[in-house]
Structure 1
Amino acid sequence: MKRHFFKKTILVVSLVILSANAVNAAVTLPSFFTDNMVLQQKSAVPFWGESNKQSVSVTTSWDKKTYKANVVKGKWNVVLKTPVYGGPYSIAINDGDLKTLQNILIGEVWLCSGQSNMEMPLEGWGKIDNYKEEIQNADYPQIRLLQAEHIESTLPLNTLKVQHDGWNVCSPKTIADFSATAYFFARKIYKEKKIPIGLIHSSWGGTLIEAWTSSGALSTIHDFDTEIEAMKSETNREALQQKYNADLAVWEKYVANADKGMQQEKAIWSAENLDDSSWKTMKLPSFFDSNGLASFDGIIWFRKKFIISDNTKDFSLSYYADDDDILWINGNYVGETKGYNVERHYTIPAKFLKKGENTITIRVFDGAGNGGVYADEKITLKSENETLSLAGDWKYNIGADSKDLPAKPYLAQGQNRPSAIYNAMIAPLLDYKIKGIIWYQGESNAERAFQYQKLLPLLINDWRAKFKDKNLPFLYVQLANYKQQKQQPDNSDWAELREAQFMALKLPNTGMAVTTDIGNGEDIHPKNKQDVGGRLANIALAKVYNTKIEYSGPLYKSYTVKANVITIDFDFNENIKAKDNSLKGFSIAGADQKFHWAEAKIVNGKVEVYAQEVPNPVSVRYNWADNPNGNLTNASGLPASSFRTDNWEGITQKKK
């Protein structure tokens, strides 16, 4: 009996203690107010949280000042006055229970955003140039890192989901999975200014600029009204989905009819006895962009013979395909998968297999960017009794080229719905005081490059308004060179996207890092992120930190025509020159709008352009290509931005 009474007493006391702890729970803070954080120097910094008490006091160690706030409906906020950069400091928050944040620095906070080239980590899937050495040497305790999770939302959120429990000190242990471009940006600024740098990295690969823009801003241009309304209404969403499904069915039927490997919707190129002796050869796993098809999008069929000794067991096969694939064995349909980032897991029934020689066929559709069959390791067939590698030479043939197909219907889904990422990955940060923004995005919008002339300034002005700073520095990366080089001047959606980025420089407090000399024609994710981050840092040092430093190559200013010569004038024209040998990358056209490669020479700090084929020139274009090879530079050694002097209708002008 005593023992039973003692147990009951202990239980009651424990419950009372637990209850008291729940009632007296310490204040809760947003995910970005943690140990190791950086607060913007010389600023009035909002600081807020939640509590179930009546009031909260906040004491900052840098000035020993205490700020008091009443709790209203569970929420409180104060505004902290920060000094010139320094630290480490602490902040004590007390609502009856004490919570202390340690190792805080006062410095400069930069928001780093965009798509995969901003997201690209030093290691992981990125593996940038010299990544092992860069990680080993990343000992910069005055640089701090905050990594946002990938989250999308129909409505703006108040809470940012972050990784690694908040802010982390930059070190070899924390840098590997962080944005390489952002890190190299911060590293250069820190080395030059010795100011602590806080990096808030909020980016997402493969995303569209409209997903990063608020619905309020997008509603002013009316290009996305249907999609925005669909996010508000289930009825509208269902109607939009039904229309997309109908359009997609029509398109898929058209593609099947256009595909040489299909006949009356039957896969004739999957037949076991097909004569594929005339097909070319490609090694898999790989992207076909790296195998002489850098500018190709469309349908490619792959075939390979393999030999098994036991056909009594099912086999499994796993790989990735970009974007969509269909698999056959000996002419028998096995399965299909859609999505460039979805790992395929196929089971091949024993009844489809023969002892001895068999034929595997994979049909791949690639809509944009890299395409092919790829895997982290070798493609391997496995059964209970046998393992067989399929890596190596495969026969391949082109079924259809996207240039000959109508545009695939598009439905904004998930994170790419207009405003969906803004709502979850930018909106929660709006009261966090920042110094500026770096941005690397555009590849996903290249097919609608003309529209980007509206969308990039819209985003810049939108974010400035939301962060309540109309002069907020906004620095961005112009698209690098990519895809196969063309032998003759031609139209280019990537050139049109670069033009849209160039035009955004008209906005004050903007800067653009040109990268057409450090890309990779076979890789949409070039490994040299050191120079990308460094060029952004040079712009910041010059325009934000008043450091005397070269930060821009020549930028097109104006042109004049005299006889058969067009003369181009540039901003940033000090010591304008060819980086090597004679100038290249210039083309010229007359009123017929047919461009020819041109001769170009520098005369009195300007470039004179002419061609024998064009006696009456009207327009000049420079580096107007997906993967240009122009070499115009200046005293900085940095490349000139691509440009054109005409405003003729481009290939993306009517696309929305």
Structure 2
Amino acid sequence: MIEHKSVKVILVVLLGMGFLPFIKAQDRTPLKFADPLTDNMVVQQNKPFTVWGTANPNAEITITPDWTAPITVKSTETGNFKGIVPVPAIQEGDYKPHTLTLLSGTESKQLANILIGELWICSGQSNMQFSMKEVPNAEAEIAKATNSHIRLFNTKLNFSDTPIQNVTGNWMECTPQSVREFSAVGYYFGETLQKKLNVPVGLLFTGIGASAAQAYVPKEVLKAHPTLDSAYLEPYLRSEKSKEKIDGGFTFEKVTRPYLLYNALINPFTNLSIKGFCWYQGESNRNERGTYTRLMYAMIESWRTNFSQGNLPFYYVQVAPFFYDIEDPVRADYAFFREAQERISELGNTEMVVTMDVGESKDLHPKNKKPIGVRLANTALNRTYGFLDVRYQGPQFEYAEFNGHKAFVHFKPESVNTGLTTNDGKLPQHFQLSGSDQVFYPAGAKIVGNRIEVYSDKVRKPVAVRYAFTNYPVTNLENTDHIPALPFRSDDWKEPVWTTKK
């Protein structure tokens, strides 16, 4: 009896002194920043910055940025914590490295060499993932890419059936080594922004080749839309695939499953303050039309809701010309899909970048990615950063008038700016005319002032005109800002049933 009392007294004394951590070792959680928060990162300027991670349950954590006063928060019973610190607006040329420190009990963690600047998320499928090592003159381009004012985060592929917080990746300074495997579109976007803004830029790539848009939409969002539920979610949930154990391995089929990529590649970043999104995707959804437009509305709106930063800008790329192994110069199923993509821009604070002039008709992954990144950046510079002298719009169809055997195409005045031209000095190509029989024929075209005159000997009385409205036209029409014209059609005729689908 005396022995038991002695042990009891010793235990009480040791507990009072803070000893015996081994008694509930399974309840201890190492102090840790969340996975997206690493050395070398860029913190979005002029927005609150959420600092989150894990610590011991019910512990106090002091968060100390070197640019503002520290704050203290308490972790939950499961060991998660979150705190919000203000971040100032910075001046041009401010590349001062900063630190951010966590302290909890005797544990401390620090982020070093972090910058305050502009942070953008880049996502999509293979043409966004397309790396710098694959662009024209790759070694020369990579050799020039030493820029410590640009920071890169390349997210490793993962899938999850439920939303998760963990990701694999690290922020790195932009060097020839780190940029080699990074998104070329993303890099050229960031390079252009950084030079113009003269502030740090962070680029976070999170996507995967061959992925479909429904994979990036939360499950509950798909469920809430009857059209999206029946088109994407319910067929998956009824399939045997939905009963499989989900792991991180790639398959072409798995990257098209609903919501799995959202849970693993987007959800872990939703605490980050960011400036906006860049998106390049669509090839995997090319046989869809209105459902894809509705799906993209839902995706964009859900991302904006879950990042909780208002109407974040969303700039995206229209798919490039491609023949899909069908040699048919008048076939237009891919053109109808590009039209569905264009309608996404009817949603507020979105803009589409055109690639019709830099595509390669027989290469699904055209290599000239620099113009695309630059066009995305110019869109952001004008629309997000207020540089109204930076042009981003190509000629956009306004209306057509028909007079005798000719059509006259008029463009929105603001999209023509100082005039129309071609990038090769030749006449505009890829126009078509149709009479009331709805049969389209190739047509000649010429620039007359700020409009296009279109004509064809095979159409005596045209009633409809189309431009670049086939599957794989590589175009030459642009404005004098060297931005390509958008594909268009003046008619609203129903899409025909194509004899072959690939």
TM range (shorter): 0.7 to 0.9
Shift of 1:604: 4.0
Aligned Cα root-mean-square deviation (Å): 2.8
- Equivalent position of 1:75 in the other structure: 80
Shift of 1:467: 1.8
Aligned pairs, how many?
Answer: 462
C-alpha separation between the residues in 1 aligned to 2:128 and 2:241? 35
C-alpha separation between the residues in 2 aligned to 1:589 and 1:488? 18
Q: Does 1:573 align with 2:413?
A: no
Q: Secondary structure at the match of 2:340?
A: helix
Shift of 1:118: 0.6
How do 1:370-449 residues align onto structure 2 when only pairs under 5 Å count?
Answer: 413-449=253-289
Is 2:210–2:255's contact at 8 Å kept on the other side of the alignment? no
Shift of 1:509: 1.8
Shift of 1:522: 2.6
Shift of 1:652: 7.4
Shift of 1:484: 8.0
Q: Secondary structure at the match of 1:608?
A: strand
C-alpha separation between the residues in 1 aligned to 2:230 and 2:287? 20
Deviations 1:171-202 (CA, angstroms, capped at 9, x unpaired): 11211111111111101111111111111100
Deviates more, 1:34-43 or 1:82-91: 82-91
Q: Does 1:92 align with 2:101?
A: yes
Match of 2:481 among 636, 643, 650: 636
Letter in 1 for 2:405: N
Match of 1:457 among 286, 297, 306: 297
- Equivalent position of 1:626 in the other structure: 471
Q: Does 1:212 align with 2:222?
A: no
Shift of 1:17: 10
TM-score after normalising by structure 2: 0.85
Relative to structure 1, the CA distance from residue 217 to residue 645 in structure 2 (aligned partners, 3 Å threshold; closer, same or farther) is farther
Q: Does 1:111 align with 2:121?
A: yes
Q: Secondary structure at the match of 2:173?
A: strand
Letter in 2 for 1:544: T
C-alpha separation between the residues in 2 aligned to 1:468 and 1:84? 19
C-alpha separation between the residues in 1 aligned to 2:451 and 2:316? 27
Q: Secondary structure at the match of 1:222?
A: helix
Letter in 2 for 1:551: Y
Taking every aligned residue pair, what percent have the same amino acid on both sides? 33
Relative to structure 1, the CA distance from residue 647 to residue 453 in structure 2 (aligned partners, 3 Å threshold; closer, same or farther) is farther
C-alpha separation between the residues in 2 aligned to 1:622 and 1:469? 38
C-alpha separation between the residues in 1 aligned to 2:497 and 2:274? 35
Match of 1:555 among 396, 399, 412: 396
Shift of 1:491: 2.8
Q: Secondary structure at the match of 1:173?
A: helix
How do 1:30-45 residues align onto structure 2 when only pairs under 5 Å count?
Answer: 30-45=34-49
Q: Secondary structure at the match of 2:196?
A: helix
- Equivalent position of 2:156 in the other structure: 149
Relative to structure 1, the CA distance from residue 650 to residue 226 in structure 2 (aligned partners, 3 Å threshold; closer, same or farther) is closer
Deviates more, 1:194-203 or 1:414-423: 414-423
Shift of 1:630: 3.2
Match of 1:586 among 425, 431, 444: 431
Letter in 2 for 1:428: P
Letter in 2 for 1:180: A
Is 1:108–1:434's contact at 8 Å kept on the other side of the alignment? yes
Q: Does 1:185 align with 2:186?
A: no
C-alpha separation between the residues in 1 aligned to 2:241 and 2:29? 47
Shift of 1:158: 2.3
Relative to structure 1, the CA distance from residue 218 to residue 613 in structure 2 (aligned partners, 3 Å threshold; closer, same or farther) is same
C-alpha separation between the residues in 1 aligned to 2:76 and 2:20? 27
C-alpha separation between the residues in 1 aligned to 2:230 and 2:475? 40
Letter in 1 for 2:61: V
Q: Secondary structure at the match of 2:416?
A: coil
Is 2:42–2:151's contact at 8 Å kept on the other side of the alignment? yes
- Equivalent position of 2:63 in the other structure: 58
Relative to structure 1, the CA distance from residue 128 to residue 652 in structure 2 (aligned partners, 3 Å threshold; closer, same or farther) is farther
- Equivalent position of 1:168 in the other structure: 172
Q: Secondary structure at the match of 1:448?
A: coil
C-alpha separation between the residues in 1 aligned to 2:341 and 2:232? 25
C-alpha separation between the residues in 2 aligned to 1:649 and 1:91? 58
C-alpha separation between the residues in 1 aligned to 2:141 and 2:447? 40
Q: Secondary structure at the match of 1:472?
A: coil
C-alpha separation between the residues in 1 aligned to 2:342 and 2:232? 28
C-alpha separation between the residues in 1 aligned to 2:450 and 2:339? 23
How do 1:601-612 residues align onto structure 2 when only pairs under 5 Å count?
Answer: 601-612=446-457
Is 1:450–1:652's contact at 8 Å kept on the other side of the alignment? no
Shift of 1:578: 3.2
Shift of 1:488: 7.4
- Equivalent position of 2:494 in the other structure: 649
C-alpha separation between the residues in 2 aligned to 1:589 and 1:194? 50
How do 1:446-525 residues align onto structure 2 when only pairs under 5 Å count?
Answer: 446-483=286-323, 490-525=330-365
TM-score after normalising by structure 1: 0.66
Relative to structure 1, the CA distance from residue 448 to residue 162 in structure 2 (aligned partners, 3 Å threshold; closer, same or farther) is same
How do 1:104-143 residues align onto structure 2 when only pairs under 5 Å count?
Answer: 104-123=114-133, 127-143=134-150
Is 1:600–1:610's contact at 8 Å kept on the other side of the alignment? yes
C-alpha separation between the residues in 2 aligned to 1:79 and 1:473? 23
Is there any run of 5+ residues in structure 1 with no aligned partner, and where? 1-15, 242-340, 343-411
Q: Secondary structure at the match of 2:115?
A: strand
Relative to structure 1, the CA distance from residue 137 to residue 568 in structure 2 (aligned partners, 3 Å threshold; closer, same or farther) is same
